[in-house]
Structure 1
C-alpha cells in the first residue's frame, strides 16, 4: 500500500512539471502557434495533431471599466466546445491593482506547450504555461466544463450550482493547488492546476478559494475527451490560394483553427461549435478560395449542415450543443445521454441551404462532380434507427421553404400577415439574435426581402439540374414565387423621413445621448430613405425605424429586375454609406450595423450593445461583395437601368470606394467578430466590445475571415472620376 501511495503522489506531482511535453509527440508536422492581441485581451493559439486550444488572458488597462474588465485566464478547446476559466481578484480589494500575464518559457521561448498523455480510450490533452501576478491574488470563480457554461457566466452572471458543486479542490501543502471536475458523462475529467515557479510564490486553498502570493506559477489545463481532426491551412484553401498562407498567416491559421474534417466552427472562443448560418454565409463569401472535393473544408461544411437537418420537417440546425453541456441538459430532461442537441428556432437559416447547395453542386467545378458521392450518404443514426439520405433531407428542406413561402406568393397573398415572422414564443430568429437586436420586431427585413427569394431561386436552379426528380413542377413554382417575394416585399419595410424632421431627429439623438460629435444635420439635403429592421416592433411600432446594413443580403444574393425598385434601392444604400454617422452608417471605425437616430426608442442600440451602433466584420465583407456584384451587372450585355443613370451609378461606385476606405483603415480588427468605437480627437476609433460590455467579441470569427477572399476591386477606385469627367473620388452630381 505504501508503494502504491508513493507512486500515486509521484504521478500527481508530475502533473505540475512544466511542460509535460516540449513538442507535439508523435506528430509528423510542427505545432502551430500564434498570438492575436486586442487589448485588454491577448489570445494565444496552439494546435498539433493531437488537439487544439485557445488561451485568453485579460487584464485591466488604464481607463478600463473595472466592473467589466477583470483579471481572467480562459482556455477553450474546439473538442466538445469545452473550456475552463479562472476569474481573479486582488487580495487587497482594490479594483484595477491586479495585473495578470503569461510569461514565455526560458527554455523554449514559447508561451504555451502541449500536454499529451496517452491513457485509456482518449488521451489527456491540454496546454501548459506560466502565469504571473503582479500582486497577491485570489481565484474566486473557477468554471470547468463547457464554453456554453463560460458564456452563461461572462454574459449574464449565470452559474448553476449543479455544475459548480462538482468542482473538487486539492491543496498539496507545497504551494501547489489543483481544481478539477468530473463531467456528467462520468468519463471525462477536466483539470486546472497551479504550482509556483518563482521564488517566494505560493498558492493555498481557503474555503474553495485559491490564494496566490505575487509571483509566477505554472498552470496545467487538460481533459480527456475525443478530439477533432483539424484541417491545416493548405487543406482549407484551394491550391491557387496557397499564397495566402504566407501573405496572411494569422488569418489563414485562424481559418484552420476553425476548420475540421466534419464541420466548421463559428468563432473563437465563444462559439467553438457548429452554427449553421455562420457556416453558410462564410462558405458563400469564401467560395473562391475554399478547398472543394473529398476531405475538403467546403464539403465538411456542407455535410455538417445536411447531417443536422431536422428529419421531421427539413429545418436546418442553427446551433449544436455538445460535450459536457449536452450531457447536462439531457440529464435535466431525465435522460442519461451524451447525445448532442440542436437548436431549430431560427427562421433565416433554412433559406441559406439551397443557395449553398447550388453554389457547391452546380457552380463549383469540383463540387459538381461530387453530387452523388455526397447526397447518397446517410445520416448517423441511433441503434435500431435507419439513417436518412442527405438527398432526402435536402428535398425536405426545399419542400419546407416552398410551403412556408406559398401564402405570400399566392394570388392576392401579398399582405403583411403572409410575411415570415419569428416563431411564437421566440424573441430572436435571424442574425441579430440578441434580445434587442430587432427592436422587438417580429417580421425581419432581411429574411423577407432577401433570404426568402434567394432560397426560392436556388431551389429553381437545383430543380432545373434534376435534384428533385419526384417534383417536376418545383422549378417553375419556385421561380414564380421567388419573383413575387423579390418584387413585393420591400415596400412593407420602406421608411421615408422628410428633411426637416430628419434634421431634428439627429439633433435630438446627439444631444439626448450627450455625444461629443456633431449631428452632421447639415449633410441632410433631402428626405432620408432606408428600410426598417423589422415590422411589428416594440412600443407599437409598425416599422422598427432603425437604419441598418442588412441591405447587403439583397445586394449579395439577388439580381433584381424591377428596374425602378432596383435603382431606388441601390441609391438609398449608397446614400446611407456615404452619409456620416449619425446621419448615415459610416464612421472611421467602419460601417455600423444599426443607426437608431431616426427612431422613437434607442434602447438596445448603443455602442455597448451586441447589435447596436457597432461594426460587424462579416457585414462589411458582404456589403463590399454585394455592391461589387451589383456594379458588375453594369458590364453585362443588358445592364440594369441604374447603370445608365450616371448620378446613381457614380454614387454607388463612390459608396463602394468609401466602404473600402474604412475597411482598409481597420485592417487590424477585420477578423474580429465585431467591434465598437470611442470618439476622440475628432474621429471614431475602434475598440473591443468587451471594453464596454460583458458580452465580448471573438478575436477570430469564421465569417469575418472572409476578407481572405473578398478583396477590393481596384478597377472601381477611380472609375467614378472617369465617368463624371471630374477629378476626385466621391464626386456626386
Structure 2
C-alpha cells in the first residue's frame, strides 16, 4: 500500500531538495537561506556574496529580535519588556538589504514578521559587537559609549550609529506595517491599529563592518560528505576563506580549538583548500612564543579593548592566549593532514612554504612545536603532578570546558595532559621523520624536537596514572543510587564490579576530581589506549546515566555521581558544562570508537564491547536528530525516558545554545555502523 504525502509535507520536501536539483551555476549564485526552530527561538540564516546575517526571533514571555553578522562579529538586538502572556513570532520572509551611507555600503537583511502581541515595550536596543550583545543578554548592561538614540520617521523607529572609531557602524530599523510607535516617558511602545490584530513588522538590520568571503559549496565539501542538508547549510554559513566561525549567533568569529577539532573531524569530507585555509587561520594567529590563539577581539570590540587598555582608538585585532589545550591540538591535527591524508601529503611541502605575514607557515608551525617541546620537559624529567600542564595563573578555565565549574575547580585537566600532550609529541616525531620540517629547523632545534618527540609514551603512561579513580562495588552502588534519587530519575541496574575511570582534572594538590566525563573520547581518537583494557573502560563510561554518561537524549559530557554530594548542583542539567549533551563530544566519541575498532590487536570480547558501545551511542545520536546542529542541549525526564530540552530555551539555563555550531556539523564526515543505518531506514 502506498502512502500519499500531504501537500504541506510534499512542498516542504520540494523546498528542501530543490537547491540540490538546480544547475550548479544557479546554486552558486542563489542565496543560502535556511531556518532552524529551537525551543522558543526561530533562527533564520542568510548568506549571499558579501552579505551574511543570522536573525533570531524569540517568542515566549521575553520577546527579542536579534541579528548577528559574521562581518566584524557584529550585531544588533532589540529586547522588549517581559510580556504578560506568551507571545509568538511568525516570520514571513528574509531578503538582502544594502544601504549606502556616507559613501560606504552597509549590508544586512530585511525581514517581514508578525507577533501576536497587544503591545510591545522596548527595554533597550544594543548595536555593536556580538560580544557586547552577549553581555547584555546575560547581564543587562553594555558600555554607555555604545548607546544609540532612536529616531522616529513615520511608522519607523531607527537606531543607527557609527563605530566608535568613526568607521561604518550599525543600524536597526523596525517599521510598524499595521501599527504605530509611541513614546511614553523614556520608553517606546508599539501596538497594532486594531485590537486583536497581530503586529506586522518590517525589520531592517545592517552592519558596516568589513565582510568575509564565503566558500562556494563546491569548494567546501567533497563527495564523501553526507547529504544532511541542515548540517551542510550550517557549515556553509560558518565557513569563510579568512576563517571558520565557531557558531552563531554567539561566536561569529574565529576560535582556535573549535577550528582545529572541526577540521580534524570533518577532514575526510572537506576539500583541500578548506582544510588548508582553516589550518592557515590558526597558524596566522600564533603568539610569538608559539601558542594558539583561543579567540579574537575584532571590530568594535577591539576598539573598546584598546580604549580601555591604552586610551587608543585602534581596531587592530587582539588575540586571547588564555587556553592551554589548543596549543597541543595543533600538531596532531596538522599531522593528520600533512602525513595521514593522501591529499595533504601531496600538498604538504607547498602548504608549509606558503607565505604568512613575513614568514612561512612552516616557520609558524615550528614555533608551536618548540613551545610544546619546552612544556614537555619538566614532567619527563620528574613525572609528578606539579609538573603537569596547569591552567594559567588566575584562570578558572583553560580547555574546552571553559566555564568556571567546567573541570570541577581543578587545576590540571585530564585531556591536556593524558591525551593532547602525548598526541602532540607523537605528531612532532612523525613530522620530523617525514623530512617536511627540514627547511625550517636549525640543527639545535631539530635536536630539541627529536628529544621531545621521544617523550610521548612516558607522558601518556605516567600522566594517565595520576588521574586514575576507582570505586568499589558497594561505594559505586550507594553513590549512584543517592545521586539518582536527588535528580528524581531511576537508578540503573546495580553495579556488579568495581568502576575505574580517569578524573576530569586534578586539584591544586594533585588529587583527582572524580567526575566521570566524555573527554575519554579524545584518548580513543588521538591516543593509544591499552588493547586489553579499552573495551572495559568504554563499557563503564557508556553505561546508562546516572551510573555512566548515556541517556535517551544523548551522551552527557559530565557525571558527578562519584564526587561528593556538594559537587552535584554545580554539574546540573542547567549548567553549560554539566550533565548536558554537546553534539561534537558525541562525534569525538563516535570517531574514536571507529578508530579503535580498526585496530588488529583487539580480542573478540573487547571488540564486542566496543561495537556494543558504538551502537548505543549512535542510537542516542539519532534520537536527538532535531537538534543535531546545535551547540548543546539538555534533558528532562518524563514519561519514563530522558527527552531533549533545548538549552537556554526556557530561561532556566545559565546561557543559551547556538543553533548553528561549527563542530556540531562534523557528522557530515561520520557514518553510523551498518546496523544503525538499517534501523534508520524508513
Q: Same fold (TM over 0.5)?
A: yes
What is the match of residue 121 of structure 2?
A: 138
Partner Cα separation in structure 2 for residue 127 and residue 458 of structure 1: 45
What is the match of residue 294 of structure 2?
A: 318
1:217 partner SS: strand
TM-aligned CA distance change 1:679 to 1:602, over 3 Å: same
What is the match of residue 113 of structure 1?
A: 95
Q: Displacement, 1:475?
A: 5.8
Paired residue for 1:329, among 285, 296, 305?
Answer: 305
Which stretches in structure 2 are left out of the alignment for 5+ residues?
1-25, 193-198
1:669 paired to 2:627: yes
Partner Cα separation in structure 2 for residue 524 and residue 79 of structure 1: 53
Report Cα offsets for 1:661-685 as digits up to 9, x if no partner: 1111112212111100011100000
Partner Cα separation in structure 1 for residue 547 and residue 510 of structure 2: 21
Partner Cα separation in structure 2 for residue 547 and residue 694 of structure 1: 21
Paired residue for 1:547, among 500, 511, 516?
Answer: 516
**Greater displacement, 459-468 / 431-440:** 459-468
Q: Displacement, 1:717?
A: 8.8
Report Cα offsets for 1:318-369 as digits up to 9, x if no partner: 1111111111111112122011110001111111111122122222333334
Q: Displacement, 1:208?
A: 4.6
What is the match of residue 34 of structure 1?
A: 34
What is the match of residue 526 of structure 2?
A: 557
Q: Displacement, 1:189?
A: 2.4
Q: Displacement, 1:388?
A: 3.1
8 Å contact from structure 1 (residues 177, 210) kept in 2: no
Partner Cα separation in structure 1 for residue 27 and residue 498 of structure 2: 64
Q: Displacement, 1:146?
A: 0.9
Report Cα offsets for 1:446-487 as digits up to 9, x if no partner: 111100000110111111112333233356423321111112
Partner Cα separation in structure 1 for residue 574 and residue 48 of structure 2: 36
8 Å contact from structure 2 (residues 369, 449) kept in 1: no
What is the match of residue 184 of structure 1?
A: 164
8 Å contact from structure 2 (residues 52, 69) kept in 1: yes
Partner Cα separation in structure 2 for residue 54 and residue 338 of structure 1: 24
8 Å contact from structure 1 (residues 171, 204) kept in 2: no
Report Cα offsets for 1:373-399 as digits up to 9, x if no partner: 43334444xxxxxx3332222111100
Q: Displacement, 1:100?
A: 4.2
Paired residue for 1:455, among 403, 419, 424?
Answer: 424
1:407 paired to 2:378: yes
Paired residue for 2:607, among 625, 649, 653?
Answer: 649
What is the match of residue 126 of structure 1?
A: 108
State how 1:616-695 maps to structure 2 within 5 Å.
616-634=582-600, 639=601, 643-644=602-603, 646-690=604-648, 691=650, 692-695=652-655
Partner Cα separation in structure 2 for residue 473 and residue 713 of structure 1: 44
1:446 paired to 2:438: no
2:568 partner SS: coil
2:455 partner SS: helix
What is the match of residue 9 of structure 1?
A: none
What is the match of residue 43 of structure 1?
A: 43
Paired residue for 1:575, among 531, 540, 548?
Answer: 540
Q: Displacement, 1:119?
A: 5.6
TM-score (norm 1): 0.84
Paired residue for 1:202, among 149, 168, 180?
Answer: 180
8 Å contact from structure 1 (residues 53, 75) kept in 2: yes
Paired residue for 1:225, among 179, 197, 209?
Answer: 209
Report Cα offsets for 1:35-71 as digits up to 9, x if no partner: 11112111101111121110011111xxxxx5xxx11
Q: Displacement, 1:585?
A: 0.8
Q: Displacement, 1:517?
A: 1.8
Q: Displacement, 1:573?
A: 1.9
Which stretches in structure 1 are left out of the alignment for 5+ residues?
1-25, 61-65, 105-110, 381-386, 719-733
TM-aligned CA distance change 1:119 to 1:556, over 3 Å: same
What is the match of residue 52 of structure 1?
A: 52
What is the match of residue 147 of structure 1?
A: 130
What is the match of residue 11 of structure 1?
A: none
What is the match of residue 219 of structure 2?
A: 235
Partner Cα separation in structure 1 for residue 174 and residue 144 of structure 2: 24
Report Cα offsets for 1:479-531 as digits up to 9, x if no partner: 321111112111111111111111111222233x3x332122x3311112211
Q: Displacement, 1:534?
A: 0.4
What is the match of residue 213 of structure 1?
A: 191
Report Cα offsets for 1:528-568 as digits up to 9, x if no partner: 2211110016xx882111111110011000234xx4xx433
Paired residue for 1:357, among 316, 323, 334?
Answer: 334
What is the match of residue 472 of structure 2?
A: 498
Q: Displacement, 1:693?
A: 1.4
1:507 paired to 2:475: no
